[in-house]
Amino acid sequence: MVNDMTLTRRGFAAALAAASLLPGAAHALTNGEAESLVRSLVADIQSTIDSGKSTSAILADFERAFKRYADVPTIARFSLGVAARSASSAELRAYSDAYASYVSNKYGRRFQEFKGGSIDIRGVRSEGQYLVVQARANLRGQSPVAVDFHVSDRSGSPKVFNVIIEGVNMLTTERAEIGSLLDRAGGSIPRLTQDLRAAS
What is the 3-class SS of the chain, one letter each residue? Answer: CCCCCCCCHHHHHHHHHHCCCCCCCCCCCCHHHHHHHHHHHHHHHHHHHCCCCCHHHHHHHHHHHHHHHCCHHHHHHHHHHHHHHHCCHHHHHHHHHHHHHHHHHHHHHHHHHHCCCEEEEEEEEECCCCEEEEEEEECCCCCCEEEEEEEECCCCCCEEEEEEECCEEHHHHHHHHHHHHHHHCCCCHHHHHHHHHHHC
How do 159-165 and 118-126 pair as beta strands?
unpaired
Cα gap 27→91, rounded to integer Å: 31
Backbone torsions φ then ψ of 123, nearest 5 degrees: 160, 175
What mean pLDDT comes out for the span 5-34?
62
Residue type (1 letter), 82? V
Confidence of residue 13 (pLDDT cuts 50, 70, 90): low
In degrees, rounded to 5, the angle at the alpha carbon of residue 7 between the alpha carbons of residues 94 and 178 is: 30
Backbone angles phi, psi at 161, to 5 degrees: -110, -10
Sign of CA dihedral 57, 182, 171, 71: negative
pLDDT tens per residue, range 119-173: 899 999 999 889 999 999 888 888 888 999 988 888 888 888 888 888 888 878 8
Longest dimension (CA), the chain: 48
Confidence class for position 68, pLDDT limits 50, 70, 90: confident
Q: What is the CA radius of gyration of the chain?
A: 16
Its sign, for the CA torsion 40, 45, 51, 53, is: positive
- Catalogue all structural domains in the chain, each as residue range(s) with its CATH number: 9-193 (3.10.450.710)
pLDDT class of 14 with cuts at 50, 70, 90: low
Using an 8 Å Cβ cutoff, are 78 and 23 in contact? yes
Q: What is the pTM of this model?
A: 0.76
